[in-house]
């Protein structure tokens, strides 16, 4: 048996801000923290329901990100609670990562509720190693649960229900 300790240093930063895509807000630029930001690829996915409740959001994101890099894509995708009970959103993320040549030098920004952040995070993590994921939670619950807690995942077989059997064996 071999036993040894591996020291690991990992920087986990949490930023708090409002109006993330406003021109004067530098929080996202700080979070990306790249000297050569203009050469980075950024895929920004926004939960459809969040975009619908803020009609200017997609245009603000496109404008803000275009000022950071010329390699940016902003899309809205369906989310909600169903996002965590199907592979549909994860499959979409896999295709987008491939189509837009997102790799470990790139960033995926996801803005939405907890189930959306979980599924996008899972899709990002399984599409290509080392993609940097920036979570922009849109609810208080998602701030704590998937925003700061940084979990990724879906319920692969949908909502599993517990059941009992009255049948005698």
Is it the case that residue 142 has pLDDT exceeding 90? no
Whose CA is closest to 131, among 108, 112, 153? 108
Place of tokens 């040894």: 4
For 93-132, the pLDDT digits (tens) are 999 999 999 999 999 999 999 999 999 999 999 999 999 9
- How much is the pTM? 0.86
Angle of helix 114-127 versus helix 88-99 axis, rounded to 10: 50
């Amino acid at each position: 048996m071999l036993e040894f300790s591996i020291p690991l240093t990992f920087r986990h930063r949490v930023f708090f801000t409002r109006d993330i895509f406003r021109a004067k807000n530098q929080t996202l630029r700080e979070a990306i923290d790249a000297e050569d930001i203009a050469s980075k690829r950024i895929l920004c996915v926004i939960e459809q329901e969040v975009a619908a409740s803020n009609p200017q959001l997609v245009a603000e994101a496109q404008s803000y990100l275009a000022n950071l890099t010329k390699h940016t894509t902003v899309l809205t995708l369906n989310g909600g609670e169903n996002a965590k009970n199907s592979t549909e959103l994860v499959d979409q993320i896999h295709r987008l990562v491939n189509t837009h040549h997102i790799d470990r030098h790139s960033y995926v920004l996801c803005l939405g509720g907890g189930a959306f952040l979980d599924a996008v995070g899972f899709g990002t993590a399984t599409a290509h190693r080392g993609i940097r994921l920036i979570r922009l939670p849109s609810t208080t619950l998602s701030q704590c649960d998937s925003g700061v807690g940084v979990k990724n995942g879906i319920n692969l077989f949908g909502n599993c229900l517990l059941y009992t059997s009255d049948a005698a064996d």
